[in-house]
A and B are shown apart, each in its own frame.
Chain A
Amino acid sequence: MNYQLNFAAVWRDFDTLLAGLGLGLTLALISIAIGCVIGLLMAFAMLSRHRALRILASVYVTVVRNTPILVLILLIYFALPSLGIRLDKIPSFIITLSLYAGAYLTEVFRAGLLNIPRGLREAGLAIGLGEWRIRAYISVPVMLRNVLPALSNNFISLFKDTSLAAAIAVPELTYYARKINVESYRVIETWLVTTALYVAACYLIAMLLRYLEQRLAIRR
C-alpha cells in the first residue's frame, strides 16, 4: 500500500464542511423541537379516554416507526408534489425528521407520563387545579425531567440521521463531503474528516446534554 494521505483538498473546503455541520445541527434542533410537540400531543392522545384519538396516535407511531427514515424522506420529498403539495427540500426534510422524532418521542413521553405518581395529580386537584393545568405545571415538567436521558439519546440519533438529507441534496455535512470526495478523489481523507466531525459534534452534544440533565434533574 503506497497511498499518500493528502488533506489539502479537504482543508480547502473545510469551511463548507463546517457550514454543513451547522445546518445538520440546526435541522436536528428544529426537528426535535417540533418532534417534542408532536410527541407530547400524541402521548396525550394515546392516553386519552377517546378511542379515536388512541387509534390515530397508534397508527401514526406504528407507521412511522416501521418505515425506514430514508424511505420517509423520499416519500415526502418526491410523492407530496404529485398530490399538489410542493415543498422545498429543507422544509420537506424538517417535516420528515420531525414526524420521525415525534413517533419515537410519543413512546418516550407516554411511558414518562405513565410513571408520574398518581399522588401528584391528586395534590394538583386538591389545590383546585384543573386537568390541563395539572398537565402543564406538574405532569409534563416532571415527566420531561425524568425522560431527559432518553431525549438526549434521541437528539443525538436525530442529528446523525440528518446525514440522510444528502439523499435529497440538502447541503449538510454528508452532502458537502460527497461533493469534496467527487471533486478531489481524496476518498479516505474526506470521509475520515467527516467522521471525525460527526464524532466530535456528537461527543460535545452528549457532554452538553449530560450537563443539562444534571442541572435540570429532580433532586432526590
Chain B
Amino acid sequence: MNQPQTTQPLLDIRGLHKHYGALEVLKGVDLSLQRGNVVTLIGSSGSGKTTLLRCVNLLEEFQGGQITLEGESIGYSESSGKRVRHPERMIARHRAMTGMAFQQFNLFPHLTALQNVTLGLLKVKKMPKDEAVALAEKWLDRVGLLERRNHFPGQLSGGQQQRVAIARAIAMNPSLMLFDEVTSALDPELVGEVLSVIKGLAEEGMTMLLVTHEMRFAYEVSDKIVFMNQGRIEEQGSAKDVFERPQSPRLAEFLKNIRF
C-alpha cells in the first residue's frame, strides 16, 4: 500500500468479451487502474458490473480480450495464435494476487473468525502458524473484531461477518481488492461499519475495484466512477463529473432513479 504511482497500470483490461451461450454480457470493456486507485462500477442490474469484477479473478471465464494484472496476463495466454487457458496452479497464484469480498460474505462456517483469516495464510502463503495468527489478529483488530476472533460466522452479525471477510482477503496482501456489493445483504444499520472499514483501506492507498449501490459512499471514496450499461462502459470520469455532470442520457436517467 501507499506505493508510488507507475506509468504501467496495475490492472489493465482490454476488449473484454464475455457471454453465457448466446447472451453477451460484456461487449468489449476497456478499463485500467493505477496503483492506489479506487474505481467504482455503477449501473443498473444486468449491466455487467459484477461479471466484470468476477472476470478479474477468474471466477468467471471470459471468451475474448485480455486482463493484465501487474504485467501478467490473467487466465489465458496466446500460444501460436491460439488462446490457451493457464494451468490451474498459475490461475490460483493469480487469484491470490487479488482479494475479494462478496455480497454474501462467504465465510467458511466451520471455522472461527481467526481460522477464516489464517486458512489462506497457512495453506496458500505457507506462513508459519504463529506468524499467520499474529497477522490475522492484526487484521481482525483493524476491522474491530479482535475480541470476536474465536467466534464462528453463525455467531456474528452480518456486518461483523463482512468485516471478517474483508480481513480474510486483505491479510493475503493482495495488490488489488475487489468488493462486490458488499453491503447489499446487510441490514441498513450495519452498512456503516463495513463502509468505514473500506474507506479506511482506501485512505491507506489500497487499490480497489468496487461494485456498489451506495452512491454517496462511491462519491466519497472513488478516484474514478465507471457507469456500465448493457455490457459496455457508457461513461467514466471523476465522481464529481459523473454524478454532477453526466454526459450520456442513460447515466442521467440512472442517476435520476437512485437515492443518494
Contacts and interface: CB of A to CB of B under 8 A. Distances in A.
Interface residues of B, number: 30
Contact of B102 (A123, A142, A219): A123
B259 interface: no
Interface stretch (B12-20, B88-96, B187-195): B88-96
Interface stretch (A1-9, A107-115, A131-139, A173-181): A131-139
Contacts of B98: 126
Interface in A129-153: 129-131, 133, 137-138, 141-142, 145
Contacts of A119: 102, 104, 106
Contacts of A130: 88-89, 92
Q: Which of A128, A130, A133, A220 counts the most B-chain CB atoms under 10 A from its CB?
A: A128
B110 interface: yes
B146 to A, nearest CB: 20
Given A128-B93, A218-B109, 17 more contacts: A120-B108, A123-B165, A125-B57, A125-B59, A126-B99, A126-B169, A127-B99, A127-B120, A127-B172, A128-B124, A130-B88, A137-B108, A137-B119, A142-B108, A145-B110, A218-B110, A219-B152
Interface of A: 117, 119-120, 122-131, 133, 137-138, 141-142, 145, 218-220
29 contacts: A117-B104, A117-B106, A119-B104, A119-B106, A120-B106, A120-B108, A120-B109, A123-B165, A123-B168, A124-B108, A125-B59, A125-B95, A126-B99, A127-B95, A127-B96, A127-B120, A127-B124, A127-B168, A127-B169, A128-B93, A128-B124, A129-B120, A129-B124, A130-B88, A130-B92, A137-B108, A137-B119, A141-B110, A218-B110
